[in-house]
Structure 1
């Protein structure tokens, strides 16, 4: 349970940025428009003007205002949830469950789920892949891992980046960001990689979260140096000279995540849902167009 300071008081930092009044170890992005206390992204509730803290929202809910005006909302307009990491936990659980199935079933399951353009897995058998109509591989490959280091690295990234984003965006918007980033990474891989080159992993979706994190931190006017350092390290790993990494998935996910993140957190309040939906729809249309064009070229 979070410890809160007495009413009317807020933590006084010895130096540097002001900490959130509910989470003193977290840097505050803004101040509550009602009580002026500093609040971090997890505590930011969208109000008619600016953002309010959870305490002021609860106090305002009993004033007789219309329910829609007092419903706690996140920075992106999502509903504030009791567990801000629920979707992140579910996604993490699905990835781990599929990994356990792969350990139990072996390469046969990998062949059925991996991202593949067009190839023959079995001598004399028919070709398989997305070009043969197996579009489901764009989704299943996002949750597929074979190596312990691979799933461990991706799940750490999911936990570190996903939790704060889910709290800020809300569950539905966060899930859309994750899935569309993964699909975009898979589509770019399908387009640019060799048709018989298998690809798997949640890296495209994780890079999408990273791209959205960059946009969000810029929106909140945080110090950008840590996230730029993390981005640079990941890009160096992506384009390392030893190969073995589907850089297309990383780039596709990063670009899609940044675009969706921008649409989510910069959408004007009066047209927020429309702009957010249109941004997600545009990314999805681009994914479908790439897949159709590539499939036509391979068949």
Structure 2
């Protein structure tokens, strides 16, 4: 070969003319994002149903995807009964502590106890002031007899998962707590001059009321839920020693709260549901303050 003859190329074909990756300009590529058409190199391309996409378009697509929700707007989850099981576990732990470990101290300090100013030594318990208002909540987790917690937890195990699956975890927990506090505050309003009771029955009756509301909303069969409610009301008013005030307060507040959660219009669901829960809490606060004016110092 003579020195002035052109050399033949034996290497790969030059990539001059190919655009550089929009993230790595020094890397030429012949592949473009199927959405924004920007050039992307193998390091950046994400496999799509058709072709490849850049990381930004993939992220934007995920951001625009609606999160799956429950029937009434809660976050959907694979385990629809988690909160129910946690509530049952909490009740069982408190029962064991109260009945076998911290006896009788826990039962005395956590019960729904109130003695008005006209009682010797009063006011005491809830009527004594804000330092004792915690009893309104702790009493809903307190059981002293095995049959009492057994019956309440059996109903919670039965009614809880369908409601939790329909409402979502947060809304279901709010419903349970609001119903329990509704039973406690109504009992204090009616009998705060002298009372002492325990149990999750107010919250349980709230779930019964919520189940009836859900059946109405879904146009499902009402007879089983109504029959169960009637049976429990008969037991409540026919047997001595049962705090009917807590049962009735939980039923009404739980049912009304459930109606707000389940009948909220889709376009303003979050706002209406928040107002429903806040309204129930406001009613309970009003009952507590009226009770304090009647029985407190």
TM-score over 0.5 (shorter chain):
yes
In the alignment, the residues of structure 1 paired with residue 111 and residue 144 of structure 2 have an alpha-carbon distance, to the nearest angstrom, of 10
Distance 1:294 1:74, change over 3 A: same
| 3-state SS, counterpart of residue 74 of structure 1 | coil
> Is residue 269 from structure 1 mapped to residue 244 from structure 2 by the alignment?
no
Q: 2:260, 2:122 → 1: CA distance?
A: 42
Unmatched segments (≥5 aa) in structure 2: 1-57
Cα distance in 2, alignment partners of residues 125 and 286 from structure 1: 29
Work out whether 1:291 is the aligned partner of 2:281.
no
- Are 2:227 and 1:258 aligned? no
- CA RMSD, aligned part only? 1.9
Offset from partner CA, 1:166-216 (integer Å, 9 cap, x none): 000000000000000000000011111252220110000000011010000
Residues 1:131 and 2:132 aligned together:
no
1:106 matched to 2:74? The reply is no
Given that residues 181 and 257 in structure 1 are in contact (C-alpha distance below 8 angstroms), is that contact kept between their aligned partners in structure 2? yes
| Distance in 2, Cα, partners of 1:257 & 1:126 | 31
Mapping of residues 75-154 of structure 1, within 5 Å:
75-103=71-99, 104-118=101-115, 127-133=123-129, 134-154=132-152
Is the contact between residue 84 and residue 156 of structure 2 (CA under 8 Å) also seen in structure 1?
yes
Aligned counterpart, 2:194: 196
Q: Secondary structure in 1 aligned to 2:181?
A: helix
In the alignment, what sits opposite 2:15? none
* Matched residues, number: 233
Residue 149 (structure 1) shift: 0.6
Per the alignment, residue 229 of structure 1 pairs with 227
Q: What SS class does the counterpart of residue 178 from structure 1 fall into?
A: helix
What TM-score do you get using the length of structure 2 for normalisation? 0.75
Go from structure 1 to structure 2 and tell me whether the alpha carbon gap of 1:128 and 1:153 turns closer, same or farther (over 3 Å shift): same
Structure-1 residue corresponding to 2:36: none
Deviation, structure 1 residue 116: 1.4
- How far off is 1:118 after superposition? 2.1
Instruction: State whether residues 116 and 195 of structure 1, in contact with CA within 8 Å, keep that contact through their aligned partners in structure 2.
Output: no
What is the deviation of 1:119?
A: 6.4
Contact 2:152 2:200 in 1 (8 A): yes
